[in-house]
Every structure is written in C-alpha cells, then in structure tokens.
A and B are shown apart, each in its own frame.
Chain A
C-alpha cells in the first residue's frame, strides 16, 4: 500500500515521466545516425586498364566522384608504379588541387604541398597523402579499393596491394 502510494506520488511520477521522455528523445537523436538513404559511391570500383594512365601523369577525373587521384610515376624509389592517392589533405582534410605545371598537389586551405609521389614537402601537413588499395583484377582492369589505406610513415607503401607495378 505504502509502496503504491509512493510510486504514485507526484514527485516520482514527474521524474519518471521526465526520464522516459529524455530517453525517447535521446533514442530519436540516435536514429539520425542511421540515415534512410545514403548516397555513397561504392568503395571498390574499376578504373579501366593500366594503359589509360600515361607515365608521369596524375589523373584527376575520379576526384569529383570517388575522391582519388590515379598517379603513374617512376619517381617513388625508381619503380614504375600506378597507385591511387586519396584526395584528402593530411593536415585538416581539404581537397588539394593537382598543379600540373608545378608538378605538385597544393592544398588551398593552409598551403600544404605534396610531390607527385604524395610526399609532403611544404606547408603544415605532417605526413604524406594516403594511398588506397589498387590491384589488377581478373578482367585486366585496375580496381581501386578505398576501404584499405596505406600510410607511408607507417611503412605501408611497400605493401604490394598499395600499388600496381607496370612491367615492360
């Protein structure tokens, strides 16, 4: 009897109601973390055969849709490589632009600069641009996999999954 009276007292009731509404509000907020539609480009995509990418060039055509540059260069450790660099500045995440004339990536936000290899050399960026996975798929096309990242300062660029070596 006493217990019921206590439970029904305005004080307990009010606090229970408040707690209940707060929890619901919190859950409703948490719901926003899972959007109904998510328009995200696929993490894995084909970028055509290796012959599409000339030596010494940076292909910028995929930046707008997928956020990667396809680089074909022999300047990194003297090997003839094609690799995909994520177009995210390692300083604060702006998108640098490739300046073909100066042969460098230059970030508009605080002026970081990266060589064609992705190595940082000017401005505040503390580490090189990140590579994402690339491989030659069975049908002879290059396939980029953005779900894996390779960081130079961690010594991950020696991983064969981070580049495609052009032979011949």
Chain B
C-alpha cells in the first residue's frame, strides 16, 4: 500500500466544493459592491475573480476522470521554504510581529474590503495547502478540524472588536456621539430577541448534529499507564499549558502559573482604575489594558494552541506545516542549568557539592551556594523590579493605584512576562532552569 496516498479524487472533489463556496461568497460580495455603486473597475475585478473561482471549482468537481490535470497545487519551493523557516523562534517572533502589526494597522484592517481580501487569501491558502499530504494529515484530523474553524472565528471576533473600537475612537475624536448611544433603538424581547435566539439555537444544533455524524470521534487504544502515544497531546484548550511545560517544571507550569492566570483574571476588575470604556467599544481610551489582554490571549494562548496542534509532532519536536512527521527527526536540544553556566562555563570549576560526610546543614548550604546566582536573579525579578517599575514606566499607575493594588498588578505582569522570557532564554542560551534544585523538587 502506498504510505503516502496523494490526492485522491475525493480530496479533489472536496477542494472543488471549497472553491465553489468561496466563489459563492464572492458572488455575494460582488453584488454588495454593485449595490454600493463603487467604481466599475473594482466591480469588474470582483466579478472576474468570482468567475475564475467558479471555473476552478467546477473543474475540480467534475474532472473526476483525470483529476491531476486540473489540479492547482501549492508550489514545492514555497513548501520547502516554509518548512525551513519553521522553528519555535520564527513562529513566536512572527506571531509577535503580527500582533504588533494588527494593532498598528488597525484603522486600515477594519475596512471591509481589506478584511474581505484577507479572508479570501486565508481560504485560498487553505485550499492550496490542502493539496499537500502532510498538511492534510494534520489539518484533517477529526480533533483538529474544529480548531481550524476556531482560527477563523477568533480572527473574525478580533476584527469585529477593532472595527467597533476604531469607529468609536474616530467618533470620540470628532466629538460625535458613540455608536452605542446613537444606535440604541430599543427592540422588543418578543418577538425580536426570542426569535433570534431560537434561530441561533436551531442553527447550532444542526451544526452539532452534522459535526457528530461527519467527523468520527478520534478514539485510540485502551489507555495504559505504561504506553504513551507519540506525540501525546493534551485537549486543544490545554495545549498552551502543555507548551508551557516544555519550559517549566511541572509544579510551575501545571500549578503555580495556571492558578495565577485564574486568580489574576478574577482580580482584574479590582486592579483596573480606568473608568473609561464602560459599556462601549474603544481602543484609544484603554490602550494599556487592551494591549496587555490581547497579548496574553492571542500570542500566548491562541498562538500556543496553534503551535501545539499543528506544529508539534512526534517526540514533541517542531515540524513545519508541510513536513512529514518523522519519529526520528533529530533536533539538538541539549540544554543546561544556569548553575552549570555560571560555575562550569564561566568560573571554570565544578559545581559545589557537600563533601561525603557532611551534615544536613552543610548539604543545604552547598545547594544554596550552587544555585545562588539563579536565586538572586529570581529575587531581583520579583522584589526589585516592582518598585523599579513603580518609579519609572508605571509611575502614573502607582500613583493612581496605591501600594497594595500596584503590587498585585506588578506581580501579575511579571508572572505573565515570565513565560516569554523563559522561552527566549531557552532558545537563545539553551537554558534549562534558572534555579535547579531537583533534590527539593524546586526548579524555576
């Protein structure tokens, strides 16, 4: 049997339907442009694009006999380029850049035409990529299909937020009333609201039924304590945590940081002193809170879910989206503790250990001496940085918040920053743990 069954007629037909769907969407869009009386040139452009998509779709769907002829594939050079670039570092920097770009270019991005073009590009990218075997294996797994749709949903809602916020910011700048105040025609609960709810309910039920019938549950062998599937993936909503576990000790990544995330989210309303932005969308009036939240949510949470779902393969190695999941892929991941970097590499002497007959106290002292640099660094991070920040970047915040609230806030920010910091340290210096005391199960 062919281990890499390439494009079968079913796959091509499925792609054809996807192209047809896109053509139908663009037909509606062209109609919208006609009604808006935009320039004839752009209407013609959309019409031509729609027709092209339609033809491509039809060719895919009907060309069952000799499907390879019609096929439009993702070019190989593009695939190998993407796979070469695929590394945790490029992925993380890329998502950060994208994040900055979205905020920077928000006024341009919220234009419907721009968003529509981006959506088209995203779907076309999916269509082309699906011609690749390895991509199809990852994206088409029954567990992963909902995550692909989630990506589009997250994109849409982020876009919607920015659209409303940019609109309101422009209104505020121009001294016009807010969208929420201007457009507050009251409607009736019955029938307007209840009907909407009922339609949503029916639509959602239908989607769930179709989903349940079409995508089979990805069941595996009976569980066994001594067999771990390779790769072993947490449920998708926990993949961020699983990725965190790559950089931190279980008690940090599994207990301390998640609890801080939960408690921190609950504490937000008590920390926030900005009275603006209450009951309406805005970006300019709440810049700091929104950027911080979006940073935690998009690159650090959604970004890590994508990373865990699509880019982590056997042995938790990093794979490009078009790369074969090779169990034997070799990656040099040797890493060292800070104590070794300090004592062995810099001071050129062995790690301090207590001599053979040493008492308990001497052993403890030896351990503390060994980890002293890391312990001091952590102490500086947690105890010196907050006052320092209060005097510099967060001066205004400190004055408005008062001591206690400011301390909670500063610690939450520091804990949020510790994940990207540790990732960067791991990648840049192969650093394993800043403080490594396996004797006491204490590693940071």
Knowing A109-B232, A122-B333, A153-B438 touch, does A95 contact B226 (C-beta < 8 A)?
A: yes
Cβ B232 vs Cβ A108 within 8 A: yes
B419-432 Cβ-contact flags toward A at 8 Å (1 or 0): 00000000000001
Quick check: is A123 within 8 A (CB to CB) of the other chain?
Answer: yes
| B residues in contact with A121, CB < 8 Å | 334-335
Shortest beta-carbon distance from B341 to chain A in Å = 15
Say if the beta carbon of A140 comes within 8 Å of chain B.
no
Name 19 interchain pairs, CB-CB below 8 A, sorted by A.
Answer: A63-B226, A64-B224, A87-B226, A91-B249, A94-B232, A95-B227, A95-B228, A97-B315, A108-B231, A108-B315, A109-B231, A109-B242, A109-B316, A110-B242, A110-B245, A111-B246, A126-B432, A153-B438, A153-B439
Q: Are B314 and A108 in contact (CB under 8 A)?
A: yes
By a CB distance below 8 angstroms, the chain A residues around B250 are 91-92
Which residues of A81-106 are within 8 A (CB) of B? Answer: 87, 91-92, 94-97, 99, 101-102, 106
The CA of A109 and the CA of B227, in the complex, are separated in Å by 12
Report B394-444 residues with CB < 8 Å from chain A CB: 432-433, 436, 438-439, 441, 443
Q: Which residues of A contact B335 (CB under 8 A)?
A: 121-123
Pair count A-B, CB < 8 A: 83
Of B225, B232, B247, B436, which contacts A126 at CB under 8 A?
B436
Q: A122-B334, A123-B333, A126-B433 are in contact. Are A108 and B229 (CB under 8 A)?
A: yes
Can you name 20 extra interface pairs (CB under 8 A) apart from A107-B228, A107-B315, A153-B439?
A64-B226, A64-B227, A67-B225, A91-B249, A94-B228, A97-B315, A99-B327, A108-B229, A108-B232, A108-B316, A109-B232, A110-B246, A111-B246, A111-B315, A121-B335, A124-B432, A126-B433, A126-B438, A126-B441, A126-B443
Q: Is B248 an interface position by the 8 A CB rule?
A: yes
A110 and B246 alpha carbons, distance in the complex (Å): 5
Question: Is A30's beta carbon under 8 Å from chain B?
Answer: no
Per-position contact with B for A139-168: 1 when CB-CB < 8 Å, else 0?
A: 000000000000001100000000000000
Q: Interface on B for A, CB 8 Å cutoff?
A: 224-232, 242, 245-250, 254, 314-317, 327-328, 330, 333-335, 432-433, 436, 438-439, 441, 443
- For B248, list chain A residues within 8 Å (CB): 124
A109–B315 Cα distance when bound, in Å, is 7
Which of A96, A108, A123, A153 is the most central at the interface, judged by chain B CB atoms within 10 Å of its CB?
A: A108
| B229: A residues at CB distance < 8 A | 108
User: Complex: how many Å from CA A95 to CA B242?
Assistant: 16
Of chain B, the residue at the smallest CB distance from A67 is B226
Whole-angstrom CA separation of A91 from B248 in the bound complex? 9
* Chain B residues, Cβ within 8 Å of A127: 438
The answer to whether B246 and A124 have CB atoms under 8 Å apart is yes
Question: Which residues of chain A have C-beta atoms less than 8 A from B227's C-beta?
Answer: 64, 95
- A102 & B330 in contact (Cβ 8 Å cutoff): yes
Q: Measured between C-beta atoms, what is the minimum distance from A46 to chain B in Å?
A: 19
User: What's the least CB distance linking A126 to chain B, in Å?
Assistant: 5
Contact of A124 with B249 in the complex, beta carbons under 8 Å = yes
Contacts of A64 in B (CB 8 A): 224, 226-227
